[in-house]
Structure 1
């Protein structure tokens, strides 16, 4: 009887025409859940696209999933509308399945983006964490605890803003817990939940700290080879920050990953204290959903410096965003220790600097070849490695070509001249690096011109 009542509750539709799955075309599968699949669907009447959760009734009944489905529906109705919470559109059922129609977030899971990038640029991590803070502040103000906060349950919409999803494990504060007390995913479970205490709003804030750590480090702080080892690490507070973890982010994570839930930032001092943390200094929490997010990209790559060789070819990647002033200053600081720093102009960042033989007619001279990124455009010049005197430049031209030859030889071709160069060690790998980097930089410049033209 209770199961039947639950299914009727799922099928109920608030103030909407009676719909069925026949009113929709079901398309590609977006993901698989415990009790069914999530697909793209299109409503025939309006051609609007949504996401539909299709829950197999028999399977859900057998595994106690109906209660979870009803819980999610009720929580989403209670939460109503928030820009960072997935919106419930319709619910209905037929003889075999329950259907939950949700707004469609086309940007994919945050988890997939972290996997793709390895780690996130600090600007991106700060923005996403701030939107997540807004979402948590809202659901907690509505007396809802998510209880399964993780990157897989954070989607991005087409504009890059977050949508918090999967409220099947959520519960109301102070309500009887009809769902299992221990819920969540091992890497994000708080110490109090491990101790068989009820999850609270503070438990979501612990997960926020784990997610911020993961965005900047590439893996959750307590990840281990098994759930048992993960739980053991959480109990022992056994986590290590990577060497280049940003200081303000580290302080925020340490304020969130506190064993005593009452001392976690956001509980202690409330959300004003959390939003006021130095890490969120550049964020306008009230306007954030009306502004374009920074691009989803990895951190600014740091150069590899070995002796006189400087290598940072990722800066030429055509799909990387332009360096911010802070990134440019950080890279300048990193390369200050090189012999070539004295030759750099304001705003210059070294992409490549390696030793080459420069050939012209019968002359062969050893030179240090430098490729520089600057706001005004790339520069290439060559230096006497003994005196660090600049001996000449290779003017950048958007018609520039670069070609591999054999045995570490390569050439840079301009409409009016060809420069013949050879890696001093005869390394074909280094010669190929030069060619690939120059061509990438050329492609990057072309994309920038196209973007500027389309913006006019």
Structure 2
């Protein structure tokens, strides 16, 4: 059922020669000169991945640039009277299409807001991700005419980073919409529900048509999930994040184990090659999630998730459908998409004709032309955000302010875990935190130890920060957890002979230095000076307690100091600060 789909003459022609509309990028992007970071103005971080940061930006207005005016006409900038570093003072002289000169300001220009993916070269090289970056650029270039794939406007690099410029999705990720609908349903007392049927049907149909287009070009996404589906200003979708995609036509594509545990298909778990059927499995998981707000395969660790997937495939414990899925008839659609065998799994043609869609998925052009049930429009916060010139100092600031870009779920967790926190001094004692249920994290500690303190932090590595729960235990251990995946990501080595030390950077940032890990500095940010005080007090109390317990093994303890930063922190600031 998941056989390779035939490529229609129409799509073959589309892949060979772009349509006239595709040949003409938006006026602001028709530039022959090679672009660099200084050709853009930069805003806040929109999101982060393991190896990239996505930042809001727009093109700086320059002479010779074609711009779209809010009046609906196009013009060419003939002279810059005042640069546009400040949104409301940029003044220019432009030439309209008929040759008429006109004086305008920034407020007269309909700027195209952009999302720029920034990847630090050293981080990519150290983690062996160079091929992933190259293949994403190549596949996006191949799919540049697709109405279903985010457009790669430009790519460039500087000595430190690689940049990929794409249109900004004003509606965010599809996952954001699923979470919003789930919260709305729960507020109304409706459990295990998320998107309304009309909305879910529309977005499943669009993702299905996007996969049809993708597979016709012999590209397998291999990491299909709501985070990689963007909702544009019109409410229609675009697929993104092709770093782990497979181009079957060219043979390009990383062959490692790739994908996200909750969405990975069983054949990949068995070390079999991923085909287009892998994307169909991911779609089945997404249908379940869109309707119910929950994942069909979820557990506290990757290993347990894989066990649940295999139990479903063996028939030992098949997926149970909530009433919202059964009521709309989506259960049989999901069952077909979650067939264990790739050969038996529903393909594009089977899925498109399923009664769930009521014919909506059969006409791609009509689907793209219709009004989306959710239309976010232009994001007013993006339109009004002050933008700045590029500098390494700005890039450093984005990494240090990673927590300010946290999603709502992370902010709620931070609020719940830090409210009512009280610092303790002197001997080691457990902190009582209002509304915090420490039992959530007991699975990550040993049976003979207790949790002394657990709190939300943002852990930075290179230029990238991740939301993590940091845990201090009674056995003098520090571990950090991914609370979304409920998975331990690592620990900070510490022994009586070589204890850690805490260096305070400012009112929210601190380093934990591990002599056992070659003096590595683990960088953390917390929500407030009070929470920073709690952490420094608790860790230093634990150090004192350890010294009292093993006096013959412990070296003298150094107290934290604002004036004493770790050597790695100093080198980081020296490298990134402007001269």
The interval holding the TM-score normalised by the smaller chain is: 0.5 to 0.7
How far is the alpha carbon of 1:274 from its aligned partner? 2.0
Which SS does the other structure have where 1:234 is aligned? helix
- Distance (whole Å) between structure 1 residues aligned to residue 217 and residue 31 of structure 2: 22
- Is 1:92 aligned to 2:171, yes or no? no
How far is the alpha carbon of 1:136 from its aligned partner? 0.3
Which SS does the other structure have where 2:234 is aligned? coil
In the TM superposition, what are the counterparts of 1:16-415 in structure 2 within 5 Å? 16-45=32-61, 46=67, 47-118=111-182, 119-173=194-248, 176=251, 179-237=254-312, 238-245=318-325, 246-266=327-347, 271-283=348-360, 284-295=363-374
Give the TM-score normalised by the residue count of structure 2: 0.47
Q: Would you say the 8 A contact 1:41–1:51 is kept in 2?
A: yes
Which SS does the other structure have where 1:34 is aligned? coil
Which SS does the other structure have where 1:263 is aligned? coil
Q: Which runs of 4+ in 1 moved over 3 A?
A: 13-16, 174-178
Q: Which runs of 5+ in 2 are unaligned?
A: 1-28, 62-66, 68-110, 183-193, 313-317, 377-579
How far is the alpha carbon of 1:176 from its aligned partner? 4.5
How far is the alpha carbon of 1:178 from its aligned partner? 5.3
Give the TM-score normalised by the residue count of structure 1: 0.59
When residues 126 and 108 of structure 1 are mapped into structure 2, their CA distance, relative to the original with a 3 A threshold, is same
When residues 25 and 275 of structure 1 are mapped into structure 2, their CA distance, relative to the original with a 3 A threshold, is same
Aligned length: 281
Aligned equivalent of 1:451: none
Q: Which runs of 5+ in 1 are unaligned?
A: 1-12, 298-456
Which SS does the other structure have where 1:77 is aligned? helix
Structure with higher RCO (Cα < 8 A, 6+ apart): 2
How far is the alpha carbon of 1:285 from its aligned partner? 2.9
Larger radius of gyration: 1
Q: Would you say the 8 A contact 1:121–1:296 is kept in 2?
A: no
When residues 144 and 174 of structure 1 are mapped into structure 2, their CA distance, relative to the original with a 3 A threshold, is same
How far is the alpha carbon of 1:98 from its aligned partner? 0.8
How far is the alpha carbon of 1:184 from its aligned partner? 0.3
Which SS does the other structure have where 1:293 is aligned? coil
